[in-house]
Amino acid sequence: MLNIRLEGKLPIYEQLYNGISRLVTSGELLPDEKLPAVREVAKQFGINPNTVQKAYAQLEQAGFIYSIPAKGSYVSKGSGAAAAAKKDALKRTEKELRNAYAAGVGLEEIKSLAETVWSGGGKGGNHD
C-alpha cells in the first residue's frame, strides 16, 4: 500500500508519479523494493489501471523504477533513483524559474533566494 494522497488539480497520473518519486527520494521506498501491482494501486485509489500504468511508465522512463516482465516494478538502486530525482528537480526548477521570470521576479532575487536555501542546508524559510 502506498502512502500517497491524491488531491489537487494535477492529473492523477502526475500526482501518483510525484508521490512515488517523493517516496523513493525520501527513502520510504528502498532500492529493489517491489512496488504494488498496477491493479492493487488502482483498487487502493479507486482509479483506472491505465492511469497507474502511465505513472509507472513515466517513473521507469525517469529512472525511479525498473520493471521485470511478469514479476513487477521495483525501486531503482540508489544512483539511478538519485540521478532521476536530480533530473526531475532540475526540470521542475526550470519551469518555476520561467514562471518567476514571467511574473517579473529579478535574477538578483532568485540568486538571493538560492543562497538562503543553500546556506540553510536546504531548510530555508517558507517563501510561499
The string of pLDDT tens digits covering residues 38-67 is 999 999 999 999 999 999 999 999 889 999
d(CA 61, CA 118): 29
Q: What is the mean pLDDT of the chain?
A: 87
In terms of pTM, does the model score above 0.75?
no
- Write out the H or E segment, with its range, that includes residue 65: strand 65-68
d(CA 71, CA 100): 44
d(CA 38, CA 115): 41
Q: Residues of 39-68 as b/e, b for ≥16 C-beta within 10 angstroms?
A: eebbeebebeeebbbbbbebbbebbbbeee
Given the candidates 1.10.490.10, 3.40.190.10, 1.10.10.10, 3.30.43.10, the CATH classification of the domain at 12-79 is: 1.10.10.10
Q: What are the structural domain ranges in the chain?
A: 12-79, 89-119
Per-residue confidence (pLDDT) for residue 123, from 0 to 100: 56
